[in-house]
Copies of this chain bind each other. A is one copy, B any other.
Amino acid sequence: METGGVDKRRLFELLWGTPSGPRRGPRPTLTLAAIARAGITIADADGLDGLTMQRVAESLDVTKMALYRYVPGRAELVALMLEAAIGEPPAPPPGADWRGQLDDWTRQLFDRFRRHPWAQAATVGARLPGPNELAWVERVVAALTGTGLTGAEQLDVAVLLVGHARNLAQHAAPDGAPAGSRETAFGVLVRGREERFPALDAALRGIDPEATDAALDFGLARILDGIEALVTARSTGRS
């Protein structure tokens, strides 16, 4: 799996190109969107490892090689799937200030990542972003326009928030997991090695095993607090 070689030229065409006009030969039976959808369904169920060209083709009632008429290879298919799975960014909640917008934005992105666990693995390394992905970034920058942050800082905020949403979708317990499963997972390893991990042991002891995992909220609140401090410093300091 994961051959990794990506045809950047072709991928750019696929992500950003316009649907070309009337062509000559027989009309295609498939669509890029349909292929991506089929791939997403499979990957949602069985992960990226379960995603084979064969299975995608079968689910579309086509031969494996037919897919290569639309997509250069598996890597590019995954990129298309990612773009479709992330989708367009949601409308910002009406009347929200920049903080409210970014808070909602991060939770929405978190949800997308959680709905498609394979998106984690599909977003490692340098990528060519698609229109949807860029539209998400645009929303962050737009929300921060007028706060006194520089353009570079606005982008840095986007990177920070994407990272948090993505990172926590990874750490988030799977849907059916019992509360406090993270703590017990760590606890098993720390137990019997308390002298090696004393602080960790103490921290784990102080955790209510019934408490729900609030890592997303906690981190997001800290990040937004930090940004807010900068924003107020900027608006009071000069201007």
Residue ranges of A at the interface with B (Cβ–Cβ < 8 Å): 1-4, 16, 47-49, 117, 120-121, 124-126, 129, 131, 134-135, 137-138, 141-142, 145, 150-157, 159-160, 162-164, 166-168, 170-171, 174, 182-183, 186, 189-190, 196-200, 202-208, 211, 214-215, 218-219, 221-227, 229-230
Query: Main SS of chain A's interface residues?
Result: helix
What 7 A-B pairs are tightest by C-beta distance, nearest first? A163-B167, A222-B226, A151-B203, A151-B206, A226-B226, A142-B199, A225-B226
- Contact check, A230 vs B226: say whether CB atoms are below 8 A apart: no
Chain B residue numbers with a CB within 8 Å of A211 are 152
Q: Which residue of B lies closest to A12 (CB)?
A: B189
- Contact check, B215 vs A47: say whether CB atoms are below 8 A apart: no
State in angstroms the CA–CA spacing of A158 and B161 once bound together.
Answer: 16
- Contact check, B168 vs A163: say whether CB atoms are below 8 A apart: yes
Chain B residue numbers with a CB within 8 Å of A141 are 199-200, 202-203
Chain B residue numbers with a CB within 8 Å of A152 are 183, 203, 206-208, 211, 214
Q: How far is the CB of A9 from chain B (nearest CB, A)?
A: 13
Given A121-B125, A222-B227, check contact A200 B47 (CB 8 Å).
no
State in angstroms the CA–CA spacing of A198 and B148 once bound together.
Answer: 17
State in angstroms the CA–CA spacing of A151 and B155 once bound together.
Answer: 32
Chain B residue numbers with a CB within 8 Å of A154 are 199, 203
- Contact check, A206 vs B4: say whether CB atoms are below 8 A apart: no
Chain B residue numbers with a CB within 8 Å of A219 are 156, 159-160, 163, 223
Chain B residue numbers with a CB within 8 Å of A49 are 2-4
